[in-house]
Amino acid sequence: MVAKPAPQTPDIARYAVSLAYDAGIPRSALQLVTGGGDVGAALTGDLRIAGVVFTGSVPTAKAIARNLLADDGRPLVPLIAETGGLNAMFVDSTALSEQVVRDVVISGFQSAGQRCSALRLLLLQEEIAQHTIEMLVGAMRELVVGDPANPANDIGPVIDQAAYDKLMAYRAQNAARIIHEVPVPATGHFVPPTLMRLDSLDQLNTEWFGPIVHVATWSAGKLEETIAAANAKGFGLTMGLHSRIARVSETVETCARVGNLYINRSMIGAVVGSQPFGGEGLSGTGPKAGGPNYLHRFCAERTTSVDTTSAGGNASLLSLED
């Protein structure tokens, strides 16, 4: 196995691989290679690579898939891709507002919104929208942004200058729609945790990988229609629901086209083994990480069938019950 981290994270990857060595995995079975996209392209283009697991953006996942098919003489190579999503959370009028606000802050702003599962789109039933937004703004006022090495801080920076520039440009272009933003330090890659209003779901078609939560409303009786609109975006990683009506949970579970649905809880922090994680559509290929079928994706399944009668066998042995 060759482990290749993102170019921004070589140190933590090196530490993870060292833990694997300490656990007894032979160095001959696991090697670390660091670098940028050129290194990744060289790896996936090498004919000795027999399978790829990737976590990252949709464009990079598609580039890897094309690279794996570039050589006509190469066998088809298994690819497991886990990308991002627009990750909507639905909140109806029966939801407990305090719990909703807590889970929105966790899902949208922890890790500076840089989890693939993070909340991007908050969809509030009209009747409780204003009240919920007011509570959420109050909770955001309590957030402290700063160096994550200091336990007094709640939210840290985004990963690099490129991510910072992209997110800040998006915020500037949509400044009139910002409901609230959290103050940040003057230096560093600190993107203000932001709550941004949408007039409709049509205004969000791209994953913004940072601490930006978009909020829109839906009308009573239009839940299934709104879920269909979210599904139509093409992503299918995570979805959340806050409701105290079991029938609503059943409806969302039936209609949602996502890999992981979270009901009355935050949308991040899937636990390997008990909560297998992965998406569909533009959000990944499956099978789920931490699930029972993950390693099977890289196994060759072989079957042998023998006709014993053609070899002079006793055909009556095939029907002993008779």
Which residues are designated catalytic? 82, 116
Element (H, E) at 178: strand 178-181
CB 154 within 8 A of CB 113: no
DSSP state, residue 214: E
**Is residue 24 helix, strand or coil?**
coil
**Joined tokens for residue 111:** 């890790």
Quote the CA–CA distance of 178 and 194 in Å, as a whole number: 7
Residues whose CB is less than 8 angstroms from the CB of residue 10 and which lie 6 or more positions away in sequence, other chains included: 34
Q: Following CA atoms 165, 168, 170, 172 in sequence, which dihedral angle do they give, to the nearest 10 degrees?
A: -130
C-alpha pair distances (Å), 15 with each of 11, 12, 205, 282 = 6, 5, 36, 31
C-alpha pair distances (Å), 52 with each of 3, 125, 233 = 10, 41, 26
**Joined tokens for residue 110:** 């922890």
**Joined tokens for residue 282:** 């533009």
**Joined tokens for residue 87:** 């990750």
Tokens 């670098």 -> residue? 35
Quote the CA–CA distance of 84 and 64 in Å, as a whole number: 16
Quote the CA–CA distance of 81 and 67 in Å, as a whole number: 14
